[in-house]
Amino acid sequence: MEKITAIFMSIVIFFTDLFFAGSKKAVDPTLDPDPAAPSAISDEVYGLPAFDDGEKCGFFHSSGSTEILRYEKTSADDFKSYCRTLCENGFDIYDEHGIESNLFATLVNDTLTVNLSWFSGTRTMRIIAEERSTLCPLTDECAHICDPLLTGIKGETTVAVEGMGYIIRLADGSFCIIDGGMGDPDHVDSDKLMGILNAQKPEGTEKPVIAAWIFTHLHGDHIGVFNCFSLDHHDDVVLEKLFFNFPKDEEIAASNSPYMLDDSLYRWPQFQKNLTDFYADVPVIKVHTGNRFQVRNADFEVLFTLDDLYPATIVNGDGMNESSLLLKMTMEGQAFLWTGDFGFIATDLVLMEYKKALACDFLQMAHHGINGTVRFYSRVCPTYALLPIWNGGLSKLLKEEQNKWLVYNIKLRQMIATGCGTWTIRLPYDPAFGTFKRIPTDDTVYPSYPALLGVRK
């Protein structure tokens, strides 16, 4: 039966797509850049060797020190040749790999990091250079002492009940947090997050260890809880690393989200102040497409960042949402696709660049169920759908075309919506049939934490 189902779904995906028409040397990933090194030594990108192949389509400055060159009509051989050229000019390969027929590499010297990406579907090559800082960790030691868990947080602050926050308890009892939710000056959600961390930390642990806090994008209903949590509980946890890639202020000001630059508690200026005031020694890792990193027993691949948009920016399309990271996480033999508020320009782009790589067991539905397309969801074809939604929003959003396709897809076993309550599942997840609603409604109530969703009582 499973084989028949798999064959059937492959046929469905095929016709849906048709319809929608060098040497390697060990490198220290924590090496700090030389503060005396010149920041820019050429008129273009840090004096890098010229890339003479393909058709140059633009030179773009992203946030911070990041500079981007984009070329079209390139080949895999052009990518490999430029890798060799960089190595001949003093760079070392830190990481190189492929996803499907797409190619990625990270190279470093004492002062610079260069990320290269080449996509076979669009024949696009990107050269992304920036001042060297902490690199994505390719390995991370992990002692297996407890069951991994995934918790979805229902927002309750009076500011706004929308938002997205997921807590992953890793096999060693440390945590990885995806976003967090809306800022809450009433402290209800930052305290709720702290309570979950304390309840799930291993017995005898003094403070919860947050091995990684990952932000999909800059909106207040995703970074806000971090801001309030930092003010309330920065001394109550150990934070090891932060991962994100946010736009520059000029683009934010010109986009549909200029309010993210005001002085509210859950905006970008407060986020930056928290980094300075409380986490000055915590590495901030700016991720780029093609990067991969490990957080204990969770492996991540970065499939999309805002760097891929240029010459479009967050001023176009769905605004700030277009800057959402697309992350694929593999943990305990199951794959998770984290989309944040993934926008429509970004969606169309990744559909040109990936095919089977988008498939996963768990899909976090884009933009609280507002975004996403039938074509995108049919390519992902998940077994479980995670919906970060506000209480009472299900009945409206389940009428949307892309969501109707998803929930009635024969492969989908369950949709889990945080609007129905804070929930926790054990990983790997395989719920017993009959202990949950396959498709929740506005009347669904999930077991109160710390009960595990889908486990027989």
Q: Which of 24-38, 113-127, 173-187, 233-247 has the lowest mean pLDDT?
A: 24-38
Give the residues across from 285 on adjacent strands.
Answer: 243
Give the residues across from 363 on adjacent strands.
Answer: 337, 385
Q: What is the mean pLDDT of residues 116-126?
A: 97
Cα 240 to Cα 176: distance, rounded to the nearest angstrom: 10
Residue 278 C-beta-side C-alpha neighbours within 13 Å: 22
The confidence score (pLDDT) of residue 177 equals 98
pLDDT above 50 for 15: no
The confidence score (pLDDT) of residue 3 equals 44
pLDDT above 90 for 118: yes
pLDDT above 80 for 21: no
Tokens of 420: 């129905």
The confidence score (pLDDT) of residue 357 equals 97
Q: What is the mean pLDDT of residues 101-108?
A: 98
pLDDT above 90 for 114: yes
The confidence score (pLDDT) of residue 44 equals 65
- 219 contacts: CB under 8 Å, gap ≥ 6: 257, 260, 320, 321, 341
Q: Which of 6-15, 217-226, 444-453 has the lowest mean pLDDT?
A: 6-15
pLDDT above 90 for 19: no
Which pTM does this prediction carry? 0.92
pLDDT above 60 for 263: yes
The confidence score (pLDDT) of residue 129 equals 98
Kind of pairing, strands 423-426 and 149-152?
A: antiparallel
- 413 contacts: CB under 8 Å, gap ≥ 6: 383, 384, 431, 438
The confidence score (pLDDT) of residue 115 equals 98
Strand segments (E) across 73-111: 92-99, 102-108
Length of the chain: 457
Tokens of 257: 């989200």
The confidence score (pLDDT) of residue 245 equals 98
CA dist list (Å): 414 to 190, 394, 400:
28, 14, 18
Torsion of CA 366, 372, 375, 378, to 10 degrees: 40
The confidence score (pLDDT) of residue 393 equals 87
Tell me the pLDDT band of 159, cut-offs 50, 70 and 90: confident
Tokens of 174: 């440390």
pLDDT of 266-297, one tens digit each? Answer: 999 999 999 999 999 999 999 999 999 999 99
Strand segments (E) across 109-164: 112-119, 124-131, 149-152
Cα 340 to Cα 22: distance, rounded to the nearest angstrom: 36
Q: What fold does the segment set 37-131 form as a domain?
A: TATA-Binding Protein (3.30.310)
Tell me the pLDDT band of 12, cut-offs 50, 70 and 90: very low
Torsion of CA 421, 422, 424, 430, to 10 degrees: 30
pLDDT above 70 for 5: no
Residue 83's H or E segment, with its range, is: helix 76-88
The confidence score (pLDDT) of residue 456 equals 58
Cα 260 to its chain centre, rounded Å, is: 20
DSSP annotation of 359 reads: -
pLDDT of 27-86, one tens digit each? Answer: 554 444 433 333 333 346 899 999 999 999 999 999 999 999 999 999 999 999 999 999
Centre a 10 Å sphere on the Cβ of residue 448 and count the other Cβ atoms it contains: 10
Give the residues across from 212 on adjacent strands.
Answer: 176
pLDDT above 80 for 215: yes
Q: Could you tell me the maximum CA-CA distance found in the chain, to the nearest angstrom?
A: 66
Strands, sheet with 384-387, edge to edge from the N-terminal-most edge strand:
292-295, 298-304, 326-331, 334-338, 362-364, 384-387, 414-417
DSSP annotation of 258 reads: G
Share of the chain above pLDDT 70, in %: 89
The confidence score (pLDDT) of residue 447 equals 85
CA dist list (Å): 173 to 137, 145, 149, 199, 211:
19, 7, 9, 11, 10
Evaluate whether the domain defined by 149-426 bears CATH number 3.60.15.10. Answer: yes
Tokens of 27: 């490198």
pLDDT of 69-103, one tens digit each? Answer: 999 999 999 999 999 999 999 999 999 999 999 99
Q: List, as one string, the DSSP characters of 5-43.
A: HHHHHHHHHHHHHHH----B----TTPPP-TTS-S--SS
The confidence score (pLDDT) of residue 392 equals 83
Domain assignments of the chain as residue spans, ordered by start: 37-131, 149-426
Tell me the pLDDT band of 158, cut-offs 50, 70 and 90: confident
Kind of pairing, strands 209-214 and 242-244?
A: parallel
The C-alpha angle 352, 356, 362, rounded to 5 degrees, equals 110
Give the residues across from 113 on adjacent strands.
Answer: 108, 130
